[in-house]
């Protein structure tokens, strides 16, 4: 009876509906009462003192099995949802990285192609140089695609500053960089995210600003890194907050920082990126 009772209780606990479990628990209780009724007597009183606690355990056992199985089911559903969220985040990351890296490179190819078209009848030597640059930029785009497939690699802020300056100057935009904290160390994720934000900001300048000058300032004030990208272009007229600006906001928010874009009173635009760095600051003296 005891072996059958635990086996029966285990099967009841795996039922799909609660009323099935309730009927099974009633059946277990009836089984015990019937046995005690027929076996009641002086010799059975001592045994009944042991049987009653076992009966209580068997009555609780189906509920325990039910909630264990329910917990397992919820855990599987949670794992599935988490997997979907991770996949969604990965898709967003790939879309953002494609926009920030490949979009930047394709913009440069477009600008160089337009310049080559204008020079094709005027300066054949310059056209040859520009075509070589277009070929090199195309190879860079292929390399970036391979990097995105493998994963997002580390991007140095110093190298990205040089990279952005070269592209801006190629588009005849005079560029000045003032890095007031060149020895500041950042975590690799922070430096990569900041570099991608800088890349996106300069890409917007190339696409929309019609600027002639650009200045990039980097400062560290009271443990807060501030990066300003200033241009003298057309400002925010008819400019929406597209995928580029939203990706900058997402990256800076991930770093517990912030971003803003504002029109200057003198004309042009200033993009400001701020990020706390008090936990990562280290002054190099060597």
* 266 confidence band (pLDDT: 50, 70, 90): confident
The mean pLDDT of 179-188, rounded to a whole number, is: 83
Is residue 281 predicted with pLDDT exceeding 50?
no
Query: Which pLDDT belongs to residue 226?
Result: 94
Higher pLDDT, 24 or 156: 156
Is residue 206 within 8 Å of 171, Cβ to Cβ?
yes
- The residue count of the chain comes to 286
Is residue 239 predicted with pLDDT exceeding 60?
no
Higher pLDDT, 100 or 269: 269
Is residue 240 predicted with pLDDT exceeding 60?
no
**Extents of the domains making up the chain:** 2-80, 90-276
* 285 confidence band (pLDDT: 50, 70, 90): very low
For helices 45-97 and 243-254, angle between their N-to-C axes, nearest 10 degrees: 130
User: What percentage of the chain reaches a pLDDT higher than 90?
Assistant: 11
| Residue 93, token pair as written in the block | 């990351």
CATH of the domain spanning 90-276:
3.30.565.10
Higher pLDDT, 158 or 250: 158
Query: Which pLDDT belongs to residue 3?
Result: 65
Q: Give the gyration radius of the chain's Cα atoms.
A: 34
Of the listed ranges 1-15, 16-30, 235-249, the one predicted with least confidence:
235-249
Query: Which pLDDT belongs to residue 2?
Result: 64
The mean pLDDT of 232-237, rounded to a whole number, is: 76
Is residue 107 predicted with pLDDT exceeding 70?
yes
The mean pLDDT of 257-262, rounded to a whole number, is: 90
Mean pLDDT of the chain: 76
Which residues have a Cβ under 8 Å from the Cβ of 30 and sit 6 or more positions away? Answer: none
Is residue 259 within 8 Å of 271, Cβ to Cβ?
yes
| Residues 138-162 pLDDT 10s | 877 777 666 665 555 678 898 889 9
Of the listed ranges 76-80, 90-94, 109-113, 268-272, the one predicted with least confidence:
90-94
- Please state whether the predicted TM-score (pTM) of the whole model is above 0.85: no
How does DSSP assign the chain, residue by residue? -HHHHHHHHHHHHT-SSHHHHHHHHHHHHHHHHHHHHHH-STTTHHHHHHHHHHHHHHHHHHHHHHHHHHHHHHHHHHHHHHHHHHHHHHHHHHHHHIIIIIHHHHHHHHHHHHHHHHHTTT-HHHHHHHHHHHHHHHHHHHHHHHHHHH------HHHHHHHHHHHHHHTT-EEEEEES-TT----HHHHHHHHHHHHHHHHHIIIII--SEEEEEEEEETTEEEEEEEE-S-TTTT----HHHHHHHHHHHHTT-EEEEEE-TTSSEEEEEEEE-TTT------
């Amino acid at each position: 009876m005891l072996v059958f009772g635990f086996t029966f209780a285990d099967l009841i606990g795996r039922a799909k509906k609660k009323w099935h479990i309730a009927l099974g628990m009633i059946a277990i209780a009836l089984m015990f009462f019937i046995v005690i009724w027929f076996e009641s007597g002086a010799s059975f009183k001592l045994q009944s003192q042991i049987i009653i606690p076992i009966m209580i355990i068997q009555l609780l056992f189906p509920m325990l099995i039910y909630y264990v199985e329910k917990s397992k089911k919820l855990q599987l559903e949670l794992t599935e949802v988490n997997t979907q969220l991770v996949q969604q985040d990965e898709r967003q990351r790939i879309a953002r990285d494609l926009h920030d890296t490949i979009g930047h490179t394709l913009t440069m190819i477009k600008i160089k192609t337009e310049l080559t078209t204008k020079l094709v009848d005027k300066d054949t030597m310059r056209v040859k140089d520009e075509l070589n640059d277009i070929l090199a930029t195309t190879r860079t785009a292929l390399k970036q695609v391979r990097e995105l497939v493998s994963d997002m690699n580390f991007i140095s802020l110093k190298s990205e500053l040089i990279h952005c300056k070269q592209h801006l100057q190629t588009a005849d935009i005079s560029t000045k960089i003032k890095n007031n904290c060149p020895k500041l160390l950042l975590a690799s994720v922070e430096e990569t995210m900041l570099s991608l934000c800088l890349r996106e900001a300069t890409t917007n300048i190339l696409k929309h600003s019609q600027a002639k000058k650009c200045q990039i300032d980097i400062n560290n004030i009271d443990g807060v890194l501030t990066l300003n990208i200033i241009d003298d272009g057309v400002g925010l007229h008819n400019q929406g907050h597209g995928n580029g600006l939203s990706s900058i906001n997402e990256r800076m928010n991930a770093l517990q920082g912030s971003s803003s874009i504002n029109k200057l009173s003198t004309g042009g635009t200033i993009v400001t990126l701020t990020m706390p760095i008090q936990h990562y600051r280290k002054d190099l003296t060597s």
